Amino acid sequence: MTKQIIIAGSGFAGLWAALSAARAVHLAGKGEEVAITMISPTPNLIIRPRLYEAVLENMAPDISALLTAVGVMHLPGIVDSIDADHKQVTFLPRDGAPQTLSYDRFVLATGSRLFTPPIPGLKEFGFNVDTLDGAQALDAHLKSLASRPESLGRNTVVVAGGGFTGLETATEIPTRLRAILGEQAAIRTIIVDTAREIGSEFGTGPLPVIREALAETGVEPRAGLRVAAIDADSVTLSDGERIPAQTVIWTAGMRAHPLAAQVPGDHDNLGRVVGDAFLRAPAADGIFVTGDAVRAATDNIGNVAPMTCQHGLSLGRVAGHNAAAELVGLPTHPYSQPKYVTCLDLGPWGALYTEGWDRQVRFTREEGKKIKQEINQIWIYPPAPDRDAVFAVANPDYVIVP
Ligand SMILES: Cc1cc2nc3c(=O)[nH]c(=O)nc-3n(C[C@H](O)[C@H](O)[C@H](O)COP(=O)(O)OP(=O)(O)OC[C@H]3O[C@@H](n4cnc5c(N)ncnc54)[C@H](O)[C@@H]3O)c2cc1C
């Protein structure tokens, strides 16, 4: 009987898991014996790392032809539940009744979601750049500000969270606001974080660079504070300051997709399944976990993969390969990703490129920006639907960052 690999998710990890699984099945010459099925709402790769950008074009490339080229079937819909004991998932198709699907190997690649704490007004008035819908809603809102009466609140954007997403979003906002409200408008962009200084969590090398970029782009830091409440016209901070602002963008905190909680075994404080060296869920026979849904060691000196696309691409390749390798008799491959780089976009100032877990500054300003643009516009996009070319880069030890 045909063996079934089901992959939930068509993000970076899910896509590369599918391509890598297809490669392994092909290498073993067992295409007739193993079926690979990907389930996700639509056959698109949402380019989440770019959703802070001003122009939301080509943010959801179609991967149908690519999946077809390597022999992976896509089912539009979602996985609603996992029954690890019976090796089954409930599939809710986009059209039609729920179905129960059996698997021999299941790869959970449903990613992560923005964590939204119960702050008064956040659900009603907060915007985000976490999903394409969220980024489009923010874009439409920003553009609509031009038709509102001039006021301090109209001209002010507050970004909650001074991590990667918050900084990338905030430093882009002044240019976006000026394009919408005019060069003469008295615009304000404020970034709020509980850290002792915005950017301090990036380490001593990046901190002065971030400080400089915020000053140059005109983003006002409010450190050591949290957003306490939001309404249609203002934001109240934890020290009681009320800032008139009709736009609040929430970027603080990610959590693994809720399906991760249905995988038996240990989970970390972000809700990720604690995977073994091969990205198996150790307490669930036949289940692999990957991307933002897994807590995985990147090396043997204590580093753990953060929730990033950079790691998702490799985690996907390893999980997909191993899921297929176990079925077709190829050697499995341990996950390892000792090299870590970051590239933080800081708007018109440029970008900050660092290497190592201690984030040593390597490139800044235009030099950094060139790398960021290459990452954002080329590296993370799906490859062309050419099976042999895809298989040449879908191996589990493919190194994305040389
Ligand atoms: C604004 C922003 C900026 C970022 N910047 C960077 C950066 O500079 N560098 C970096 O490395 N990372 C960055 N990231 C993080 C990066 O985007 C994530 O780490 C990455 O998307 C995780 O990949 P993934 O495949 O695990 O999950 P996702 O990309 O979230 O994909 C999850 C997939 O699962 C699907 N899905 C969801 N629910 C179900 C279900 N029930 N059933 C089936 N399918 C489902 C979704 O539709 C999607 O296809 C950024 C993220 C954001 C939001």
Q: pLDDT in tens for each of the 402 residues of the chain?
A: 899 999 999 999 999 999 999 999 999 999 999 999 999 999 999 999 999 999 999 999 999 999 999 999 999 999 999 999 999 999 999 999 999 999 999 999 999 999 999 999 999 999 999 999 999 999 999 999 999 999 999 999 999 999 999 999 999 999 999 999 999 999 999 999 999 999 999 999 999 999 999 999 999 999 999 999 999 999 999 999 999 999 999 999 999 999 999 999 999 999 999 999 999 999 999 999 999 999 999 999 999 999 999 999 999 999 999 999 999 999 999 999 999 999 999 999 999 999 999 999 999 999 999 999 999 999 999 999 999 999 999 999 998 765
- What pLDDT does residue 50 have? 98
- What pLDDT does residue 402 have? 53
Same domain, 205 and 132: yes
Domain count within the chain: 2
Same domain, 126 and 240: yes
Name 355's bridge partners.
341, 360
Same domain, 129 and 246: yes
- What pLDDT does residue 204 have? 96
List Cβ neighbours of 257 (8 Å cut-off, separation of 6 or more): 9, 108, 110, 111, 112, 113, 271, 292, 293
3-state helix, strand, coil in the chain (%, to 5): 30, 25, 40
Residue 332, domain member (yes or no): yes
Any atom of ligand 1 within 6 Å of the Cβ of 292: yes
| Residue 36: domain span | 3-114+254-340+385-391
Any atom of ligand 1 within 6 Å of the Cβ of 130: yes
Contact 287, 106 (CB under 8 A): yes
Residue 360, domain member (yes or no): no
Any atom of ligand 1 within 6 Å of the Cβ of 279: no
* Residue of 173, 309, 340, 346 best suited for mutating to test ligand 1, as the one with most atoms within 8 Å of CB: 309
Q: What single-letter DSSP state applies at residue 378?
A: I
List Cβ neighbours of 163 (8 Å cut-off, separation of 6 or more): 193, 201, 251, 252
Q: Is 145 helix (H, G, I), strand (E, B) or coil?
A: helix
* Cα–Cα distance measured from residue 205 to residue 360, given in angstroms and rounded to the nearest whole number: 6
Name 72's bridge partners.
36
DSSP string, 41-72: SSSB---GGGTTSS---S-S-B-HHHHHHHTE
* Residue of 7, 52, 110, 369 best suited for mutating to test ligand 1, as the one with most atoms within 8 Å of CB: 110
- C-alpha 48 to ligand 1 mean position (Å): 6
Q: What single-letter DSSP state applies at residue 263?
A: S
* Cα–Cα distance measured from residue 209 to residue 199, given in angstroms and rounded to the nearest whole number: 9
Average pLDDT, the chain: 97
Any atom of ligand 1 within 6 Å of the Cβ of 90: no
CATH at 291? 3.50.50.60
- What pLDDT does residue 399 have? 83
Which helix (H) or strand (E) segment holds residue 324: the answer is: helix 309-328
Same domain, 282 and 221: no
Same domain, 132 and 110: no
* Cα–Cα distance measured from residue 39 to residue 98, given in angstroms and rounded to the nearest whole number: 13
- C-alpha 9 to ligand 1 mean position (Å): 9
Any atom of ligand 1 within 6 Å of the Cβ of 248: no
- What pLDDT does residue 401 have? 64
* Cα–Cα distance measured from residue 289 to residue 263, given in angstroms and rounded to the nearest whole number: 9
- C-alpha 319 to ligand 1 mean position (Å): 16
Contact 257, 110 (CB under 8 A): yes
Residue 154, domain member (yes or no): yes
Same domain, 227 and 313: no
- What pLDDT does residue 362 have? 98
- Domain limit, last residue, from 217, 250, 283: 250
Any atom of ligand 1 within 6 Å of the Cβ of 91: no
Residue 399, domain member (yes or no): no
- C-alpha 355 to ligand 1 mean position (Å): 22
Residue 375, domain member (yes or no): no
Same domain, 106 and 216: no
Radius of gyration of the chain (CA): 22
Nearest Cα to 149, choosing from 244, 81, 218, 268? 244
* Residue of 81, 308, 343, 354 best suited for mutating to test ligand 1, as the one with most atoms within 8 Å of CB: 308
State the maximum Cα–Cα separation within the chain, in Å, rounded to a whole number. 70
Same domain, 178 and 326: no
Any atom of ligand 1 within 6 Å of the Cβ of 77: no
* Residue of 20, 40, 90, 374 best suited for mutating to test ligand 1, as the one with most atoms within 8 Å of CB: 40
Q: Is 294 helix (H, G, I), strand (E, B) or coil?
A: strand
Nearest Cα to 187, choosing from 162, 161, 210, 157? 157
Q: Where are the beta strands (DSSP E) in 301-359?
A: 341-345, 351-355
Same domain, 270 and 214: no
Same domain, 286 and 303: yes
- Domain limit, last residue, from 219, 250, 281: 250
Same domain, 45 and 84: yes
Residue 142, domain member (yes or no): yes
Contact 9, 40 (CB under 8 A): yes
- Domain limit, last residue, from 250, 285, 303: 250
Minimal-distance CA residue to ligand 1 atom 7: 49
Residue 296, domain member (yes or no): yes
Residue 126, domain member (yes or no): yes
Q: Give alpha helix (H) positions in 32-183.
A: 64-70, 122-125, 132-144, 164-181
Rounded to an integer, what is the distance from CA 239 to the centroid of its chain? 32
